[in-house]
Amino acid sequence: MLNTERETTETLDIKFNDQGLVPAIVQDIDTGQILMMGWQNAEALKISLETRKATFFARSRKRLWTKGESTGHFQQIVDIRVDCDQDTVLMRCKSLGPCCHAGYQTCFYRQLTPTGQLSFIEDRAFDPDEKY
């Protein structure tokens, strides 16, 4: 028989990888569109919870960064979800401007065609040279 009672709480046990990171997906709360994916360490996740702004760990620069700190295009967190294995974070956000550093609304502005080519499916929302 199916148990229809919903558990109300569970212990958080994020499964960070060997580098101490977990993938963090940003989704637009209004449209459902996936805006970007970044990496979070424990500190970035804590700061995201406290400030309600999507914060990540930059692997190349080895430092924390908040999405929008250069452009003002912050990702204001509405809620944070964790997948069933606790190895991926989903931040549902109100997007305060285009998300992608390349100037697009989403980092997923290209589509892979059956022939293996990349096809642009969005127009640029801003000129990145004017923001960075």
What CATH number is attached to the domain comprising 118? 3.10.20.810
Count of domains in the chain? 1
User: Could you tell me which of 71, 55, 66 has the C-alpha nearest to residue 105?
Assistant: 71
The model's pLDDT over 73-124, given as tens digits with 9 standing for 90+, comes to: 999 999 999 999 999 999 999 999 989 989 899 999 999 999 999 999 999 9
The β-bridge partners of 53 are 76
Q: How far apart are CA 131 and CA 110, in angstroms?
A: 21
Residue-level pLDDT at 54: 98
Distance CA 45, CA 11 (A): 16
Q: Is residue 93 part of a domain?
A: yes
What is the spatial distance between Cα 104 and Cα 24, in angstroms, rounded to a whole number?
A: 19
Domain of residue 84: give its range. Answer: 22-123
Q: Per the domain annotation, does 129 fall within a domain? A: no
- For residue 9, the model assigns a pLDDT of 82
Share of residues in the chain with pLDDT > 90 (%): 78
Torsion of CA 67, 55, 74, 60, to 10 degrees: 0
Residue 35 forms part of a structural domain: yes
CB atoms within 10 A of CB 130: 8
In a domain, 9, yes or no: no
Asked whether residue 97 is assigned to any structural domain, the reply reads yes
pTM for the whole structure: 0.88
- Enter the tokens of residue 53: 């702004």
pLDDT class of 3 with cuts at 50, 70, 90: low
- Structure confidence by residue, pLDDT tens digits, 36-63: 999 999 999 999 999 999 999 999 999 9
